[in-house]
Each structure stands twice: as structure tokens, then as C-alpha cells.
Chain A
Amino acid sequence: MTDLSPRRRPRLPFSPWHLLLAPLALLFAVPLIWLGLSSVMSDAEINRFPPALWPSGIHLDGYRLVLGNAMFPRWFANSLIVSAVAVVSNLLLGTLGGYAFARMRFGGSRVLLVLMLATMAIPFQLTMIPTFLVMRKLGLVDTLGALIVPSLVTPFAVFLLRQFFLSLPRELEEAAWIDGCSRLRVLFQIVVPLSRPALSTVAVLTFLTTWNDLSWPLIALNHDANYTLQLGLTTFRGQHHTQWSAVMAGNVITVLPVLLAFLAAQKTFVRSITSTGLKG
């Protein structure tokens, strides 16, 4: 908003709004700062009452304990596998599906598109029990497959990419198409390189949702060797109830990948949140 009204009061050296914003922003930041600090405290410092507010030095006992745990590295690997497969496969299947819906003619395409869109409105808990039964029929319960199959492609990826492809100028593709390029070549040599923003949006959001998911792994997995990081973390507290530094170190390792992804791709991230049909 532009400020055109004349100022009545003498100017503060800073905008008075900082008096509201700074404490609030600090309040939002403190829990995460405390997470980082407590993960490098010694157990004596953490278990003292009142607890130390600042670590006396950097103690890596928590990290050593977590990384030396029989399961933790495995959970990390499981999470990484599931998220990586989801990202790659959403990009690939979303591109293929989105392109067909945007540019190709086939019988029933409109009905199919509407049907796919409608599935976005179905709440997860309506499908969670039967999806578990479907996975059991497929013999996938308690394997990473049970996590991978439902996250292979989302209607969101297909729809977002379709919208983006529709916005690309048709002429570029037509030239190649007339020269006799196959659809697949047109798609991967012309359309995909032009679609970086949309593809990175799909990648970022897919990574965020699969990495952070808890409820579906909780239902689909039994044996702790198959756990993801999020699920492992929830059991971790019981195992190490006195070792808060280990729990916090594990928590840091769980949060760090999305945090780094967010900070590295902040622009894309915020744009993807605001522009992916979420707006108005």
C-alpha cells in the first residue's frame, strides 16, 4: 500500500511496526532455535532444572548416539528412497499425463480430467482403511512399496503441469511436429526444458509432502526396520526418554532436509505455494 498521507508525529528512527513484528518473529523462531541449541547440549545441561538456556559448548553426544543407533540411519535411507522415487515419478508421470491432457486429443479425455480433479477433494481418512486393504491385496503392507505406490503420481502434479503446458506457445511444438518429431521427442526436447518453473514446483511440493508424511506410514508399516524418519522419530522418544539430546539431534536431522530445501529454493517455494491454483 502506498503511504500518501502526511505524517503527523515526528519520525521514529524505525517504523513502529517493528515493535509488533520483531517480538512475533522472534516467538516464531525461538522453538526452532531451541531445537538446534538443545541438540548440542550435554545431557547434564538438558536435564537440569531450570534447563540451561545456552549450551556451554558443542556436545555431539546426541548426534553420535542417534547415528550409532541400529535403526536411525535406516529410517533416514527409507525416507530418502520414498521421497526420491515420489519426486522423480511425479515429474515423469505428471509430465506425460499433463501433456496428453493439454495437447492431445483422445476419447473421454475431458471426463477423465474432471474425474481426476474431483479426486483432489476426497479426504484422506475416507480412503485410508480401504487403501490399506488394497495394499494388503497387493502384498505390499509393511514394505516401502506400500508408501511408494500411492505417491507415484498425484492429481495435483498432472493438473499443475497441464495448466503450465497450456500456457506455452503452441508454435514451438508445431514446427518440430511438422518436421516429423514424435510426440515423445517434442515433449522432452522442447516442452520439458521450457517448463522448469512448473517442474521445480512439483518437485519441491512432492518432496515436502512425502518427506513429512506420518499418517500413511503409520498405517502401512509394522516392523521398525521399514519405518520412515517421521515414524521412527515418534517411537524414538520412548526408547530414549532420558536422552533428550539424542531425541533433539534426531529431530534436527529430520527437519534439516526440508529446511535446507526451503532456504535454497525459497523463491520457487513461496511462488509454488501461492500460484499453484491456491490463489483465488
Chain B
Amino acid sequence: MSRLPTPITRPAPRTPARPARRRGRREAATAWAFVLPSVLVILGLSVIPVLWSLLLSFQYSDLLTPSVWVGWDNYRQLADDPQFAQAVRNTLEYTALYVPLSIGLGLVLALVLNRRIRFAGLYRTLLFVPFVVSAAAQGVLFSFILDPEFGAANSLLHRLGVSPQGFLSDPGQALLVLVGISLWSGTGFCVVIYLAALQDVPRELIEAATLDGAERRHVLRHVTLPTIAPVSVFLLLWQTISALQVFDLVYVTTKGGPLGSTTVIVYFVWEQAFRNFTAGYGAAAAYVLGVALLVAAAALRLVRRRGDRRIEGATS
């Protein structure tokens, strides 16, 4: 990314100056023809909507009749909206549980699978496969398994002598169950990323440390973990961003219920814009989330840069 394309060496032009410039211009025209479709689609469907969304957030809009400028009203109303407060709480709770659990479990499993162990490939495949299953399919499948009356989960608990659970229909459990389903589908991703990172840990470093008498946990603490730290930061960022944006699974399983216990921010935005037809209000909520995501990403970038410097210092 940091390197500009260097000019291609071409044979000396037979007649200098003008044809060369014409060729340069033709080259630029060709280049523009190559990138134009991508530019139109990508920038047209991101820059325009981002600005439009900002405008919308200062308007009263039902998506049908002309909208009315209301200034900061939407934001002020959001600050007092108990439903939005609950959506924020639910989103933060979900993120605070899902992110460390998926990364921690992913790291442990990757460390184990990275040893010379039989069936490592099979284990990796089994752990990763749920990642390719769509949230819609996951939702339908787990609604079936966790059905309080007919589901396989309760019948299993029944056989173990545990009283039947409400799962997704219990306001006290629903969010935790959603975290569990997300762990089922998202942990394999962390495992795969960590496994790739572990390939890059220099063997000489581990061997040298071992010869120097370091125990295995010391090698882990002082060699392996610092080397893969940038990947941990990447996963932290990636998993946090996807957790803050969770929607599909909630829509398919609980639709925000019971009693709002699983209403997350994106679900709130969608409900406001496309169910209650208060699009301006929804846009304002989306902007609150967008700014939060940006701050989170910026903060993590900062930490990551400092971390990178520390690792360079440690290994060089």
C-alpha cells in the first residue's frame, strides 16, 4: 500500500514528447475505464449514504412523506429513551461476554491443535464448519433444538434429571443463549486465525528459550504470546466490531424479546426505521453506534501501534 507503482521501462519513443504524452493520456483514460465501475458502486453506495444518514438523523422522516428538520431532537430523545438504553446495555453485555470468550477459547484450542497431535485437521474442520453456516440457518436450527417444549436440549436435560429450561423464551437466559450460539459459530474463526499466526512463531526462538531452561509456560508467556500479540489485537477489534453489529441471529430467534431482553442496537435501528417508520430516529441511533465503533477502532489501532513497537524491541 505504501509503494507507488514504479513506471514501466519502455523502449525509447521514436518521436519524442507528443506521442508519449498522448500515450500517457490514453493510459490514464484506460485506467479510469477500469476503475470506474468499482468507484461508482463502492463510493456511490457508501459516501452518499453516510452523508445522507447524517442528514436524516437531524430530521423527522417516515420514509414516505417529506421529512422535517428537527435539529438535535432525535439525539436528545435517544438520551431519554429507556428502550435505547436497554439496547445499549444488551449490546455491551453481549459483546463483553462473546469477545473474550471466543478469543480465549480460540487461543487455547489453537495452542493445543498446534502441537503434533493426531486428527488435528479433523478437529480444526469440526470447529470451523459452524462458521460457514448462515445466521438464519443457525437461528432456525437452534430454535428447534432449544424449543422449551419439544426441543432436544430439554429432553436431554430431562434425562439428566435437570428441570426444563426456557432458553430463548426466558428473559433471564435469552441473551446468554445467544452468546452461546455465537460462540458455537464464531470460535472456529479465532482458532483458524490463531493457528495461522502460530505458524509464524520462529522455531529457533522457542528452541533457544527451551535450551536456556525455560519451561513450557515461560515459553508461552515470553515468546509465543508476544509474537502473536498483533493477531490478538486484530481479533479483539474484529470480534468487537462484529459483536456490536449483531442482528441476523436476533432477528431469526427472538426478535428482540422476551421483554426486550435481546434487543440489540442494530435491531433497535432496524425496528425504528422499517417497522415504526421513524427513520430519522433510527438514523440517529445508527450514528451513535457508528461513532462508538469508530472510537473503538481508533483506540485499538493506537494500542496496536504501541504493541507493535514493543514486540519489535523484544525480538530484534
* Residue B47 CB within 8 A of the other chain: yes
Nearest CB to that of B229 among chain A residues? A280
User: Among B14-22, B75-83, B110-118, B167-175, which stretch is in contact with chain A?
Assistant: B110-118
Interface string of A93-118 (1 = CB under 8 A from B): 11011011111111101101101110
A254-278 residues with Cβ-Cβ distance < 8 A to B are 254-255, 258-259, 261-262, 266, 270, 273-275, 278
Contact present for A104 and B252 (CB under 8 Å) = no
Q: Kindly state whether residue A208 has any CB partner on chain B within 8 Å.
A: yes
Q: Which residues of B contact A273 (CB under 8 A)?
A: 189, 192-193
Task: Among B24, B42, B207, point to the contact of A119 (Cβ < 8 A).
Answer: B42
Contact B290 A123 (CB under 8 A): yes
How many of chain B's residues touch chain A, expressed as a range? 35 or more
- From B3, B41, B201, residue with most partner A Cβ within 10 Å: B41
Contacting B251 at CB < 8 Å: which of A184, A214, A237?
A: A214
Q: How far is the CA of A23 from the CA of B265 in the complex (A)?
A: 35
Complex Cα distance, B44 from A214, in Å, reads: 22
**Residues 261-277 of chain B: 1 if any A CB is under 8 Å from the residue's CB, otherwise 0?**
00001100110011000
- Measured CB to CB, the nearest residue on chain B to A184 is B30
Using known A-B contacts A97-B34, A105-B27, determine if residue A17 contacts B112 with beta carbons closer than 8 Å: yes
Task: Give the residues from 34 to 92 in chain B that come closer than 8 angstroms, CB to CB, to chain A.
Answer: 34-35, 37-39, 41-50, 52-53, 56, 63
Report if A183 contacts B (CB, 8 A): yes
Q: Answer yes or no: B225 CB below 8 A from chain A CBs.
A: no
The CA of A227 and the CA of B82, in the complex, are separated in Å by: 34
Q: Does A32 contact B (CB under 8 A)?
A: yes
A84 CB to closest chain B CB (Å) equals: 17
Answer yes or no: B159 CB below 8 A from chain A CBs. Answer: yes
Interface residues of A in 155-176 (CB under 8 A from B): 155, 158, 163, 166, 170, 173-174
The answer to the question of A76 belonging to the interface, with a C-beta cut-off of 8 Å to chain B, is no
Set B136, B152, B192: member contacting A34, Cβ < 8 A = B152
B37 touching A96, Cβ below 8 Å? yes
Q: How far is the CB of A229 from chain B (nearest CB, A)?
A: 8
| Contact flags A38-79 to B (C-beta < 8 A → 1, else 0) | 100000001101110100000000000000000000000000
B35–A97 contact, CB under 8 A? yes
Residues of A within 8 A of B47 (CB): 115, 119
C-alpha spacing A213/B247, complex, angstroms: 11
Please state if B129 and A278 are interface contacts (CB–CB under 8 Å). no
Please name the residue on chain B nearest to A158 by beta carbon. B38
Please report the C-alpha to C-alpha distance between residue A273 and residue B118 in the assembled complex, in whole angstroms. Answer: 24
Instruction: Report whether B251 and A125 are in contact in the complex, using a CB–CB cutoff of 8 Å.
Output: no
Taking a contact as CB atoms closer than 8 A, the residue among B234, B247, B294 that contacts A121 in the complex is B294
- Is A96 a contact partner of B38 (Cβ separation < 8 A)? yes
Residues of chain B within 8 A of A38, CB atoms compared: 144
Query: Given contacts A125-B289, A153-B37, A214-B252, are A25 and B127 in contact (CB under 8 A)?
Result: yes
Which of A130, A154, A183, A254 makes the CB contact (< 8 A) with B49?
A130
B245 near A123 with CB under 8 A, answer yes
Interchain residue pairs with CB less than 8 A apart (10): A1-B198, A24-B127, A26-B126, A28-B127, A29-B126, A50-B152, A96-B35, A97-B38, A231-B136, A270-B128
Q: A153-B38, A215-B251, A219-B274 are in contact. List 17 more A-B contacts (CB 8 A).
A: A15-B115, A21-B112, A25-B126, A28-B127, A50-B155, A96-B34, A106-B28, A106-B31, A116-B39, A154-B42, A155-B42, A208-B132, A215-B248, A218-B251, A234-B136, A247-B144, A259-B129
Residues of chain A touching chain B, judged by Cβ–Cβ distance below 8 Å, are 1-5, 14-15, 17-18, 20-21, 24-26, 28-29, 31-32, 34-35, 38, 46-47, 49-51, 53, 93-94, 96-97, 99-107, 109-110, 112-113, 115-117, 119, 121-134, 149-150, 152-155, 158, 163, 166, 170, 173-174, 177-178, 183-184, 208, 211-215, 218-219, 230-231, 233-234, 236-237, 244, 247-248, 251, 254-255, 258-259, 261-262, 266, 270, 273-275, 278-280
User: Residues of B at under 8 Å CB distance from A?
Assistant: 1, 3-5, 7-11, 24, 27-28, 30-32, 34-35, 37-39, 41-50, 52-53, 56, 63, 109, 111-119, 122-123, 125-130, 132-137, 139-145, 149-152, 155, 158-159, 184, 187-189, 192-193, 195-198, 201, 203, 206-207, 210-211, 215-216, 219, 224, 230-231, 234, 238, 241, 245, 247-248, 251-252, 265-266, 269-270, 273-274, 279, 282-283, 286-287, 289-290, 293-294, 297
Q: Which 4 A-B pairs have CB atoms at the shortest separation, nearest pair first?
A: A50-B155, A212-B134, A274-B196, A130-B49
